[in-house]
Structure 1
Amino acid sequence: MAGVAGNQPLYICRNCKNPIALRSDLLSKAFIGKYGPAYMFSHAMNIIAGQKEDRKLITGAYSVADIYCCNCGEILGWKYLRAYEMQQKSKEGKFIIETAKIAKEY
């Protein structure tokens, strides 16, 4: 596992321990997912994106795709594909991952 991120802490799938995101890719801890607190990441790894769909979220309308662990299939959160409001465009391409679905590993 150390070879994946060198000595950098990373976030892993709580279910199967698959590496999901690097600590350096964490952008914000101030998000709410479908089921509770969530983090925003600039990048995620070892995931599979589901079908694109439009969703009305707290901050507006978006095209998103649910993301799943590529190892165990656990739903982790979603990826912002498109923001329909100009002030939310910075979220495009970013990942929202539920904190209950990941664990920090050092």
Structure 2
Amino acid sequence: MVVTDNKFFLIDDLLYYREKHNSALTIVDRDNIFLILKEFHDCPYMRHMSEDRTKERVASTAWLPKWEKELSEYINTCEICQKANRKHGKKYGLLKHIEEPKHPWETINMD
């Protein structure tokens, strides 16, 4: 049975979310959000990826309403990521131009 609405459709009692050319299984049960995040972040082949990458992976498979907060909280409290002391989802800033010093040892930089 297929019941369609603009972005949601029902097939075999499973609700899917469609956006452009992709469709994903809709998960509305809050308990399942934890299981999905665990699978996509803690799994050995995922290697505890950043928040952005985990979000990309989850979004390609499942659509979860208002789940970004849970994702952020889950990754920020991940014990392995905390031990590795990695920043999640933080982008490096742009390089800045350093003016040529007028005197020796006026400016010291490190890479």
TM-score (norm 1): 0.25
Larger radius of gyration: 2
Q: Which has the higher contact order (CA 8 A, sep 6+)?
A: 1
Q: Normalized per residue, which structure has more strand?
A: 1
TM-score (norm 2): 0.24
